[in-house]
Amino acid sequence: MRGAGLWQLGQSITRRVAQGDKKAVARRYFASEAELKRTVLYDFHVANGGKMVPFAGWGMPIQYKDSIMDSTLNCRQNGSLFDVSHMCGLSLKGKDSIPFLEKLVIADVAGLAPGTGTLTVFTNEKGGSIDDSVITKVTDDHIYLVVNAGCRDKDLAHIEEHMKAFKAKGGDVSWHIHDERSLLALQGPLAAPTLQHLTKEDLSKLYFGEFRILDINGAHCFLTRTGYTGEDGFEISVPSEHAVDLAKAILEKSEGKVRLTGLGARDSLRLEAGLCLYGNDMEQHVTPVEAGLTWAIGKRRRAEGGFLGAQVILKQLEEGPSIRRAGFISSGPPARSHSEIQNEKGETIGEVTSGGFSPCLKKNIAMGYVKSGSHKAGTKVKIIVRGKAYDGTVTKMPFVPTKYYKPS
User: Is 180 flagged in the annotation as binding?
Assistant: no
| Residue 322 pLDDT class (50, 70, 90 cuts) | very high
What kind and span of H or E run contains 44?
Answer: helix 42-47
Question: What pLDDT does residue 27 have?
Answer: 43
| Residue 165 pLDDT class (50, 70, 90 cuts) | very high
| Residue 4 pLDDT class (50, 70, 90 cuts) | very low
Instruction: Compute the chain's Rg from CA coordinates.
Output: 21
Q: Please state, rounded to an integer, the average pLDDT across all residues of the chain.
A: 94
pLDDT tops 60 at residue 7:
no
Q: What is the mean pLDDT of residues 122-146?
A: 98
- Cα separation values, 334 from 35, 111, 314, 338, Å: 33, 42, 36, 12
pLDDT tops 60 at residue 25:
no
User: Cα–chain-centroid distance for residue 328?
Assistant: 20
pLDDT tops 70 at residue 58:
yes
Does residue 8 or residue 101 have the better pLDDT?
101
Q: What is the mean pLDDT of residues 28-38?
A: 69
41-85+180-271: CATH topology is: Gyrase A; domain 2 (3.30.1360)
- Burial annotation 112-129 (CB, 10 A radius, 16+ → b, else e): beebbbbbbbbbbeebbb
The span from the CA of 195 to the CA of 233, in Å, is: 10
Residues in the chain: 408
pLDDT tops 80 at residue 17:
no
Decide if domain 322-398 falls under CATH 3.40.50.10170.
no
Domain ranges of the chain: 41-85+180-271, 322-398
Question: What pLDDT does residue 34 have?
Answer: 74
Question: What pLDDT does residue 22 have?
Answer: 44
Percent of the chain with pLDDT over 90: 91
pLDDT tops 70 at residue 29:
no
Question: What pLDDT does residue 32 have?
Answer: 58
Q: Which of 281, 295, 271, 267 is nearest to 400 (CA)?
A: 271
pLDDT tops 70 at residue 24:
no
Q: What is the mean pLDDT of residues 195-199?
A: 98
| Residue 408 pLDDT class (50, 70, 90 cuts) | confident
pLDDT tops 60 at residue 3:
no
Query: DSSP letters along 307-343, please?
Result: STTHHHHHHHHHH--SEEEEEEEESSSPP-TT-EEE-
pLDDT tops 50 at residue 252:
yes
Q: What is the mean pLDDT of residues 385-402?
A: 98
Q: What is the mean pLDDT of residues 284-292?
A: 98
Q: What is the mean pLDDT of residues 98-112?
A: 98
DSSP class of residue 171 equals -
Q: What is the mean pLDDT of residues 207-226?
A: 98
The span from the CA of 84 to the CA of 207, in Å, is: 21
Q: What is the mean pLDDT of residues 217-239?
A: 98
Q: What is the pLDDT of residues 338-379, one digit of tens each?
A: 999 999 999 999 999 999 999 999 999 999 999 999 999 999
Q: What is the mean pLDDT of residues 297-321?
A: 98
Look up residue 382 and give its amino acid.
K
